[in-house]
Amino acid sequence: MSRCLGASPGVRPRSNLYLGGLVEVFLDQAGDQRQVCELQINPANDVLDIIFLCTGTPAHDRQLITDLTLANRDVWALRERDWPGLKSAAAPWKVDGAVVGWIVDVAMPAQPTLRRLGRTTYADGLALRVNLLRYDWFPGPDEAPVLLSLDCARVLQGNPHRSPAALGTFVLVDRLAVK
């Protein structure tokens, strides 16, 4: 079994889960780069939720990376936030009885998730700015850890919170309407 399949030793909730294998969700509900929510979930189902608040006017370069002066002065990372009603479940992923990885299911209740939009329910056609991310760490040639970062959007590798302008767009579809 590869080292990336298990939980990171010594990692606790509210700590730096990104130092081990994890899944992350970045969400900018309003799409204006002023409030970005980040969820980190590791294979042990430890959860860290962070909210990034930009108190200045969002600005980025041609690569869609937030201006460093702005980031250092006007972007605040708040780890104290708790996402009311958030549920997650991490479990080994098995194929033919053999563990080949792990999977995470996440349920984000509409009311706290969409609060900034003034909404309490998800709706067909609702567009949200999102990035889904998977981090795995593998031993490199000299046994030093090497990061494999898999993003669904063109964000800054290793620092996706620094590029909220690059988040992708997910458009919600009523599952009952899909045939």
Question: Is 58 in contact with 34 (CB distance < 8 Å)?
Answer: yes
Any domain includes 78: yes
Whether residue 179 lies inside any domain: the answer is no
Q: Which residues pair with 98 in a beta bridge?
A: 95
Q: What is the CATH number of the domain that holds 26?
A: 2.60.40
Q: How far apart are the first and last CA of the chain?
A: 39
The pLDDT of residue 140 is 84
User: Which distant-in-sequence residues (6+ apart) come within 8 Å of 65 by Cβ?
Assistant: 156, 162, 163, 166
Q: Which domain holds residue 158?
A: 3-171
SS3 144: coil
Q: Is 89 part of a structural domain of the chain?
A: yes
Structural domains of the chain, count: 1
Does 178 reside within a domain? Answer: no
Summarize pLDDT for 125-153 with one digit per residue, the tens. Answer: 999 999 998 888 888 888 888 888 888 88
Give a yes or no: residue 177 inside a domain: no
Average pLDDT over residues 11-33: 79
With the C-alpha atoms ordered 10, 157, 168, 82, is the resulting torsion angle positive or negative?
Answer: positive
pLDDT in tens, 45-104: 988 888 999 999 999 898 888 998 999 999 998 886 678 889 999 998 899 999 888 899
